C-alpha cells in the first residue's frame, strides 16, 4: 500500500494524536544530574562558562539543591570534585576527607536512600598537570616525551573508587579512559567488600572539544599536551564498539557514550551491540552551553530545543541521560511541555 491510501500526515493532524503515536518518551527518572562540589567555599559560585550551573559548597546549600532535584523527580546525581590542592600523584582524589568523599557522606546522611549517588573517578581534577593518569617521562634514543602511564594509574583509580564507596557512593563512574580501568576498579572494590557498588564506565569517551566549558568549571584542563592518547578519536565509530566490549568483559554494569549529540550514531551502535545493558549518554558541557548561549541571544527557543535534544538522545538508544538541563527539563516535563511543544 502506498499513496493515496497511505498518508502519514493523518497521524500528525492533532497535538494529542501526535502524542499518542510518539515513539519516545522522556522522564526526570531518565536523568542523572551532574554537580560540581568545591572545597573551601561557603556559597554556591556561578560558572560563567555554563550559564545556570554552579559549584557547590559541601554544606546545607548542596543538600538543599539536591533536595530540589529530588522534588522534581530527579533522583540520581553525579559528583565532580574541585579540590583546593593538587599534586603530581592526584592524592586529594583518594583522601578520605576529600571534597567528593565529604559531599557523599553529607548527602547520604541527610537524604538517605532518596538519592542515588554516582561519583566521577578520575585523577584530572587532582593532578597539578591535569592529566587523567600519572605522568611519566619516556626517553628512547635520546628523544624524550611525557606519557600518561596507564598501568601505574590503575592502582590509584582503584583507591579513588574504594574511598568513594566507603563514603557511601552507589555507583562509581571511571572517566579516565585508561585501559583496564574497569577491571582494576572492580577488583579493588570487591577486595574491600564493596561487591554491590556498581560501575558506570565512560566506555566510549571521545577526545572532544565539547568539554571546553567543563574544563573551565572544574579546572581540570591538561597543563601541557592533550588527552588524545587515551580518549577516542572523533573519526572512529567501530572502535567504540571495541572499547565498550572491553569494559563489558571487565565487569561494567552501566555503559556510557560521551559526548552525546555529535555521537548519536555511536549511541545507536552501542545500543545494538549490547542490547542487554543500561546505556547512558553524557550530554556534555559544550552541548549545554551552546544551547544556553544561543537561547540567551534569542536565536532558538530554549525549552523546545532542549526537549528536542533530550528526546533525540533517547531515540538514538540511550536509556539514561546525564545532563545539566536535568532540573529545568524536569520542570518542563512536569508542566507537560513534552506533550505540548511537539
Catalytic residues: 205, 258
Instruction: Establish if 227 lies at the interface with ligand PBG (CB under 6 A).
Output: yes
Residues in the chain: 342
The residues, any chain, with a CB within 8 Å of residue 134's CB and separated by 6 or more, are 88, 89, 90, 123, 127, 148, 149, 152, 153, 156
- Read off the C-alpha cell for 322: 546525564
Helices then strands, each counted (H, E), the chain: 12, 12
Name the minimum Å distance from CB 275 to ligand PBG.
Answer: 26
Residues touching ligand PBG, count (CB under 6 A): 12
* Touching ligand PBG, residues 194-223 (CB under 6 A): 211, 214-215, 220
Q: Which is nearer to ligand PBG, 232 or 284 (CB)?
A: 284
Residue of the chain from 124, 181, 248, 291 that contacts ligand PBG (CB under 6 A): 124
CB 111 within 8 A of CB 70: yes
In order of 49, 119, 297, 330, the CA distances from 46 in angstroms are 9, 21, 19, 21
Q: Which is nearer to ligand PBG, 206 or 274 (CB)?
A: 206
Instruction: Establish if 169 lies at the interface with ligand PBG (CB under 6 A).
Output: no
Residue of the chain from 76, 119, 285, 289 that contacts ligand PBG (CB under 6 A): 285
Nearest residue to ligand PBG by CB is 214
Question: What is the distance between the alpha carbons of residues 207 and 209, in angstroms, rounded to a whole number?
Answer: 7
Name the minimum Å distance from CB 59 to ligand PBG.
Answer: 24
Name the minimum Å distance from CB 98 to ligand PBG.
Answer: 15
Instruction: Establish if 120 lies at the interface with ligand PBG (CB under 6 A).
Output: yes
The torsion angles phi and psi of 171, rounded to 5 degrees, stand at: -135, 130
Name the minimum Å distance from CB 132 to ligand PBG.
Answer: 6
Residue 40 CB coordination number (10 Å): 11
The torsion angles phi and psi of 121, rounded to 5 degrees, stand at: -110, 105
The torsion angles phi and psi of 51, rounded to 5 degrees, stand at: -50, 130
Q: Which stretch binds ligand PBG (CB under 6 A): 12-20, 119-127, 188-196, 328-336?
A: 119-127
Kind and range of the H or E element at 143?
strand 143-149
Q: Which is nearer to ligand PBG, 110 or 222 (CB)?
A: 222
* Touching ligand PBG, residues 130-159 (CB under 6 A): 132
β-partners of residue 199 are: 172
- Read off the C-alpha cell for 290: 551552546
- Angle between helix 60-71 and 99-111 (nearest 10): 60
Name the minimum Å distance from CB 175 to ligand PBG.
Answer: 4
Q: Which is nearer to ligand PBG, 80 or 332 (CB)?
A: 80
Instruction: Establish if 58 lies at the interface with ligand PBG (CB under 6 A).
Output: no
Binding mask 300-319 for ligand PBG (x = CB under 6 A): --------------------
Q: Which is nearer to ligand PBG, 110 or 219 (CB)?
A: 219
β-partners of residue 200 are: 254
Name the minimum Å distance from CB 20 to ligand PBG.
Answer: 35
- Chain residues binding ligand PBG by CB under 6 A are 120, 122, 124, 132, 175, 211, 214-215, 220, 227, 284-285
Amino acid at each position: 500500500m502506498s499513496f493515496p491510501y497511505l498518508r502519514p500526515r493523518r497521524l500528525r493532524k492533532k497535538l494529542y494524536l501526535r502524542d499518542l503515536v510518539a515513539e519516545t518518551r522522556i522522564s526526570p527518572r531518565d536523568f542523572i544530574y551532574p554537580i560540581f562540589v568545591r572545597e573551601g567555599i561557603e556559597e554556591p559560585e556561578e560558572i560563567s562558562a555554563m550559564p545556570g550551573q554552579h559549584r557547590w559548597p559541601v554544606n546545607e546549600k548542596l543538600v538543599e539543591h539536591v533536595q530540589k532535584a529530588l522534588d522534581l523527580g530527579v533522583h540520581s546525581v553525579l559528583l565532580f570534585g574541585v579540590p583546593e590542592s593538587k599534586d603530581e600523584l592526584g592524592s586529594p582524589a583518594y583522601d578520605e576527607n576529600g571534597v567528593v568523599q565529604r559531599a557523599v557522606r553529607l548527602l547520604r546522611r541527610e537524604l538517605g536512600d532518596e538519592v542515588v549517588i554516582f561519583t566521577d573517578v578520575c585523577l584530572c581534577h587532582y593532578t597539578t598537570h591535569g592529566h587523567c593518569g600519572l605522568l611519566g617521562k619516556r626517553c628512547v634514543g635520546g628523544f624524550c616525551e611525557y606519557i600518561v602511564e596507564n598501568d601505574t594509574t590503575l592502582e590509584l583509580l582503584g583507591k579513588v573508587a574504594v574511598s568513594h564507596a566507603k563514603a557511601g557512593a552507589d555507583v562509581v563512574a571511571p572517566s579516565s579512559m585508561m585501559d583496564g580501568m574497569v577491571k582494576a576498579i572492580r577488583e579493588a572494590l570487591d577486595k574491600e567488600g564493596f561487591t554491590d557498588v556498581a560501575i558506570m564506565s565512560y566506555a566510549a569517551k571521545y577526545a572532544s572539544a565539547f568539554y571546553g566549558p567543563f574544563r573551565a568549571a572544574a579546572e581540570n584542563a591538561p597543563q601541557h599536551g592533550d588527552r588524545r592518547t587515551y580518549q577516542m578519536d572523533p573519526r572512529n565509530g567501530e572502535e567504540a564498539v571495541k572499547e565498550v566490549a572491553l569494559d563489558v568483559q571487565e565487569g561494567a554494569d552501566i555503559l556510557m557514550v560521551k559526548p552525546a549529540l555529535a555521537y548519536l550514531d555511536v549511541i545507536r551502535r552501542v545500543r545494538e551491540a549490547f542490547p542487554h545493558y543500561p546505556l547512558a549518554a553524557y550530554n556534555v558541557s559544550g552541548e549545554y552551553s551552546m544551547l544556553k548561549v544561543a537561547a540567551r541571544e534569542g536565536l532558538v527557543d530554549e525549552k523546545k530545543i532542549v526537549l528536542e535534544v533530550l528526546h533525540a538522545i533517547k531515540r538514538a538508544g540511550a536509556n539514561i541521560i546525564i545532563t545539566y538541563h536535568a532540573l529545568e527539563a524536569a520542570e518542563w516535563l512536569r508542566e507537560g511541555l513534552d506533550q505540548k511543544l511537539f
